[in-house]
């Protein structure tokens, strides 16, 4: 068994680790926890993953994610403060103010902290205009810790005094914004005064003191859900099953024939999954969650509630899907939208975005309103480099970051660059994203399929294609949800070292619920991996902001391609996003939506247990969608057409296949409230029952 958890198990619905520096619960020692954490933080500061000016997470949040007491995190922060490397700032939490001196040569002009893409050597912790060593703020001791305004005496850590490392002022006003959830004004535990909107009682080290100081408390107050609650439905709902070895190929096994997209999968035998069952789906109990802008519960116009419209009213599901199929599906009327890939847009941080936009406009000179750098605004490139180092374990120089209009444009820019390098085919996962495959084909690149099993893409089949490049989603494979195992990652890196190029689409890696963080492949072999990411799943697809980090040999050509394509992204939205990343607002938003998305995922699994008995759910540990395979002979294109006739939009799994396989649906759950999800799944059940046919023996 590999050393990487593939995300098949769950632990009371809580994710087992922190995206911050890729810290995992399994790495926490039995003793010396504070020293271990302090050591990891010192190493991150030394090698540039935590640059000068970077923020540390609130102690409450990090302690909950690592399942240690809050005192462990506070003590680790205190040790770094004694070293002079961090300090507590009133409105900014705990900030890195100095990096240790090293014997390495200083970085060249324009170089930031990070690791060189080809050599893998640290460039040194270059300061990026942040406060240097020895900076002293008013009212703060030389070691970087604040003292309370009441008496100015520092108490030992964890004593709960009115000042010191966990201090707040005597009246109980909130002294740190950026510690807690963004769900309203926080009331401080001492004086009872509400803090600024968007804070939750953070002290001067960014520690949250309004949640009862319960060590290890999870940030999300999630009710009993299908992973961790009392069962209600007795029908088993298998999730992410792993077939026994040795054994027959699983649902995504088998090297496919090299041919175009498959048509409707008639005659597919009933899928007998070896998946482990969850014995019953649990009760969902969050009726208080608001339904922000959810569509009304009504049938398509002119039809009674239980009377479906004509089959496939939009004509979407007959034959091979064309280039405009997603646009047509978005335009199709429906009561419930289960199309995958949409986050919860009702909680887009409008207030934070407006504040950041006003600040950007106030501080921007007239010259900033002219044409920008085609590579992207330098401020956003620095912010993205810091984000990738903190959240995805990828250390890059900001100069290597290219800002693009989403992953779709990144693939478009890569077309001519890859062809000029002699690449005429990019292998793709099977099943894998139809949209990505269409973008590659539009650039004249062949897309030979490579089968996916429970460990990820099959590298033996990848070798067999002869392709020099491959497009992968290793952190959360689309659409199966598989996490590439440690052994399979090593095989991929061996393939890449032999001359292969990996295009790593890290499309929703931040949305994880029941598995530890998985570092990006880019962190392991920088000169053979093109890393693609975007803000579409973090915030909203409408922003059209993404990033591409390519090996050094491709950068100049990619910048030229971007320049001649559109002269660069709009500058003002880039600066606003950079400010959200720098201020910690984006991480707070991510914590908020993780809890909401988890509850909605649980609601969908609960509903599927009652409405689609025998169905198997894949990919529940992370992401914004579930893939559901079901027994029977009903082709999934017919099921999707019947679902649309019943008022539900979704993707048939066969859209994302190039070879035959079991029928299924790809269901996005993030954009609907639990009530809407339950109604939509009930409609799916009625649609399937309307198509049911006896299984021939």
Q: DSSP per residue over 126-189, as a string?
A: ---SS--TT---TTB-TTS-B--TTT-PPPPTTS--SSSTT---TT----BSSSS-SSS--B-T
Joined together, the tokens standing for residue 673 give 């409230």
pLDDT given at position 427: 98
- 3 state DSSP class of 215: coil
Rounded to whole angstroms, how far apart are CA atoms 375 and 547?
10
Q: What share of the chain is helix, strand, coil (3-state, %, to 5)?
A: 35, 10, 55
pLDDT given at position 367: 85
Closest by CA position to 82, among listed 102, 60, 59, 98 = 98
Mean pLDDT by 10 residues, the chain (697 residues): 32 58 77 85 84 86 87 87 78 78 41 37 37 35 34 37 34 34 34 36 35 36 34 39 38 40 38 34 34 38 47 72 92 95 91 95 89 95 94 92 97 96 97 96 96 96 97 95 91 95 92 81 92 94 96 96 95 96 92 92 96 93 94 93 96 96 96 94 95 57
pLDDT given at position 347: 92
pLDDT given at position 518: 80
pLDDT given at position 651: 97
Answer whether 542's CB lies under 8 Å from 417's CB: no
pLDDT given at position 548: 98
Rounded to whole angstroms, how far apart are CA atoms 162 and 143?
19
Whole-model pTM: value is 0.62
Residues 6+ apart with CB under 8 A from 560: none
pLDDT given at position 310: 54
């Amino acid at each position: 068994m590999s050393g990487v958890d593939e995300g098949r198990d769950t632990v009371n619905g809580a994710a087992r680790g922190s995206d911050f520096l890729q810290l995992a619960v399994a790495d926490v020692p039995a003793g010396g926890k504070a020293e271990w954490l302090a050591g990891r933080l010192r190493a991150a500061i030394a090698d540039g993953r935590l640059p000068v000016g970077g923020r540390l997470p609130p102690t409450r949040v990090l302690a909950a994610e690592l399942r240690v007491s809050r005192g462990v995190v506070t003590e680790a922060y205190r040790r770094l403060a004694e070293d002079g490397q961090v300090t507590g700032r009133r409105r900014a939490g705990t900030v890195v103010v100095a990096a240790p001196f090293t014997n390495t040569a200083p970085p060249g002009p324009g170089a930031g902290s990070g690791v060189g893409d080809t050599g893998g050597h640290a460039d040194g912790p270059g300061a990026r205009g942040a406060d240097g060593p020895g900076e002293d703020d008013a009212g703060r001791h030389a070691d970087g810790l604040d003292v309370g305004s009441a008496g100015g005496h520092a108490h030992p850590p964890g004593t709960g005094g009115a000042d010191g490392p966990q201090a707040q002022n005597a009246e109980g006003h909130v002294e740190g914004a950026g510690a807690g959830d963004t769900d309203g004004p926080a009331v401080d535990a001492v004086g009872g005064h509400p803090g600024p909107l968007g804070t939750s009682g953070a002290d001067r080290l960014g520690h949250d003191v309004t949640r009862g100081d319960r060590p290890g408390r999870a940030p999300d107050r999630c009710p009993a859900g299908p992973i961790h609650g009392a069962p209600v439905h007795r029908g088993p709902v298998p999730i992410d099953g792993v077939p026994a070895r040795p054994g027959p190929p699983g649902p995504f096994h088998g090297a496919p024939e090299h041919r175009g997209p498959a048509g409707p999968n008639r005659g597919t035998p009933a899928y007998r999954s070896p998946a482990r069952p969850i014995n019953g789906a649990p009760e969902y109990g969050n009726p208080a969650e608001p339904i922000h802008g959810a569509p009304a519960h009504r049938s398509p116009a002119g039809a009674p509630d239980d009377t479906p419209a004509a089959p496939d009213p939009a004509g979407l599901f007959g034959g091979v899907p064309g280039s405009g199929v997603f646009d047509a599906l978005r335009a199709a009327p429906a009561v419930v939208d289960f199309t995958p890939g949409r986050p919860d847009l009702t909680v887009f941080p409008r207030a934070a975005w407006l504040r950041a936009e006003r600040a950007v406009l106030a501080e921007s000179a007239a010259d900033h309103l002219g044409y920008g750098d085609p590579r992207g605004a330098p401020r956003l490139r620095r912010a993205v480099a810091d984000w990738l180092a903190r959240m995805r374990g990828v250390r890059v120089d900001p100069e290597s970051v290219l800002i693009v209009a989403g992953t779709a444009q990144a693939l478009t820019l890569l077309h001519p660059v890859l062809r000029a390098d002699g690449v005429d085919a990019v292998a793709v996962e099977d099943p894998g994203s139809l949209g990505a495959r269409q973008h590659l084909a539009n650039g004249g690149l062949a897309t030979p399929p490579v089968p996916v099993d429970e460990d990820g893409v099959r590298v033996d089949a990848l070798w067999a294609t002869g392709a020099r490049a491959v497009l992968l989603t290793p952190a959360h494979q689309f659409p199966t949800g598989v996490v590439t195992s440690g052994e399979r990652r090593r095989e991929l890196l061996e393939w890449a070292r032999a001359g292969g190029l990996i295009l790593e689409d890290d499309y929703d890696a931040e949305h994880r619920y029941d598995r530890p963080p998985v570092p990006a492949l880019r962190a392991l072999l920088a000169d053979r991996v093109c890393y693609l990411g975007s803000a579409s799943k973090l915030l909203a697809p409408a922003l059209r902001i993404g990033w591409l980090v390519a090996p050094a040999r491709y950068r100049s050509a990619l910048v030229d391609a971007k320049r001649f394509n559109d002269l660069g992204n709009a500058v003002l939205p880039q600066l606003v996003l950079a400010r959200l990343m720098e201020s910690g607002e984006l991480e707070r938003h991510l914590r908020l939506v993780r809890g909401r998305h988890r509850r909605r995922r649980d609601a969908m699994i609960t509903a599927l247990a009652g409405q689609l008995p025998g169905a198997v759910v894949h990919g529940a540990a992370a992401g914004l969608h579930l893939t559901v395979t079901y027994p029977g002979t009903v082709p999934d294109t017919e099921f999707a057409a019947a679902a649309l006739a019943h008022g539900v939009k979704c993707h048939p799994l066969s859209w994302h296949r190039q070879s035959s396989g079991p029928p299924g649906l790809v269901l996005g759950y993030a954009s609907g409230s639990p009530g809407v999800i339950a109604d939509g799944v009930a409609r799916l059940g009625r649609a399937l029952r309307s198509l049911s046919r006896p299984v021939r023996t």
